[in-house]
Structure 1
Amino acid sequence: MNIAQHFITQTQALAEEQAMFQHRQRGENNAQNAALMAVQASTETRFQRLTEQQRTLAHQLGEALATTQSELSSQFQRMQALEGDQVTQMEEFVNKKLGEALQNVHQSSQVITSQTDIAQKLLVEIEQTIANSQATFASHIRQV
Structure 2
Amino acid sequence: MRLMAFDYGTKRIGVAVTDPMQIIATALTTVHPQDIWTFLTDYLQTEQIETFIVGRPRQMDGSDSESASHVVGFMRKLKKIYPTIPVVEIDERFTSKMASAAIAQSGKKKKDRQQKGLIDTVSATIILQSYMDSRSF
TM-score range, shorter chain: under 0.3
- Higher relative CO (Cα under 8 Å, sequence separation at least 6) belongs to 2
Tell me the TM-score normalized by structure 1. 0.16
The structure in which a higher percent of residues are helix is: 1
